[in-house]
Chain A
Amino acid sequence: MPNPDLSNMQIENLLSAVTDALLAEKTNIDAISRQYQIPRDEVDSFVRVINRLHLALVGVQPSRRFVRRLKQDLVGVPNRNVFSRVRHLPPRVQIAAGIALVAGFMFLSRRRMVHDIQQENQEVISA
């Protein structure tokens, strides 16, 4: 007498294999069915249902507007300015960047100041 558990397992495996084949648009259903000892009538009754499901359940797409708006609400507009990049740097790099910025500013101010003094001196001499 056939073991009902074994037979159930066989048909479960067959149905999964047939469904995968149909979803992949393969037509070798007969070849798959022959690998299992399931009566042909029974297989056919399931194949009809699987085929109908395959044709009826088709994917839908959300509207582009909805997708774009939700993304904006969730993550906002990407922020790629200098400050946002510096904020993600390690503290020692942030400190170094700060020192370099201040030093640069001081260098420029000093150069400008020296330039102004030289100009004043020249004006005094020429006067």
Chain B
Amino acid sequence: MKAPWKRIPKAQDLSQLSDSELVQLAKDNQEAFGILYERYIGKIYNYIYYRTGNHHDAEDLTALVFYRAMGHIENYTERGVPFQAWLYRIAHNLVANWHRDRGRRKIIALEEFAGPAPTSEVPDTQTEDKEEREILLETIRRLPEERQQLLILKFIERMSNAEIGDIMGRTEGAIKSLYHRTLIALRDELNMHEIGHQISSRINDTEG
């Protein structure tokens, strides 16, 4: 029998709800916000970690994102921007301000930025892999902000072009095009790096 009053959903029931339903409830139910928090904390943290390059700032900025989201959730209306995209936009703005406040791109220790390295059986290969990875990450950090954002959303968050488009406020076609240009830039940079490396090796061999 249906209860004559609107009951408070239990946390277990809440976790079954969609983002839109939770957002409506979260306007006056903190537990609903708690479910949204659990759903997105990992993703937002990952995104910020790769944009800032260290756990300490990633934690501070992640906390700010959720405080801001909670503070503004009453005014949030889903007009073409899903809740997830709204959170990422808050995160993006905070990271942009963080970079601006520092006045420069932070120079990050590569080990710290890189996270867990892929494993390899042979130590030499492992060193080589690590070196290659460091070069790639360094190259990524030199890309314009929007290209970095695209790569993080695609490779870390495993989002579709449409979802990335929602977050970045672009069409799916525009995201495909941006991805193509990003890959060209990366490929050319990496080729240049390889050529430079070969030339310096030859010089060293000749001198040796």
Contacts and interface: CB of A to CB of B under 8 A. Distances in A.
A57 B5 contact: no
A70 B31 contact: no
Interface residues of A, number: 40
A12 B179 contact: yes
Contacts of B176: 12-13, 15-16
A93 interface: yes
Contact of B115 (A53, A60, A75): A60
A53 B140 CA distance: 9
Interface stretch (B15-23, B62-70, B199-207): B62-70
A58 B132 contact: no
Given A62-B42, A78-B11, A93 B177 contact: no
A124 interface: no
A32 B5 CA distance: 56
Interface in A82-102: 85, 88-90, 93
Nearest to B177: A12
What's the dominant secondary structure at chain B's contact region? helix
Contacts of B173: 12
Contact of B30 (A46, A52, A70, A75): A75
Nearest to A52: B136
Given A12-B176, A46-B183, A90-B6, A61 B62 contact: no
Given A12-B180, A75-B31, A88-B8, A58 B116 contact: yes
Nearest to B32: A75
A75 B33 contact: yes
Contacts of B158: 23
B172 to A, nearest CB: 9
Nearest to B190: A49
A55 interface: yes
Contacts of B42: 59, 61-62
A15 B5 contact: no
8 contacts: A23-B155, A23-B158, A60-B50, A63-B59, A71-B41, A74-B30, A74-B70, A93-B4
Interface of A: 8, 11-13, 15-16, 19-20, 23, 45-46, 48-50, 52-63, 66-67, 70-71, 73-76, 78, 85, 88-90, 93
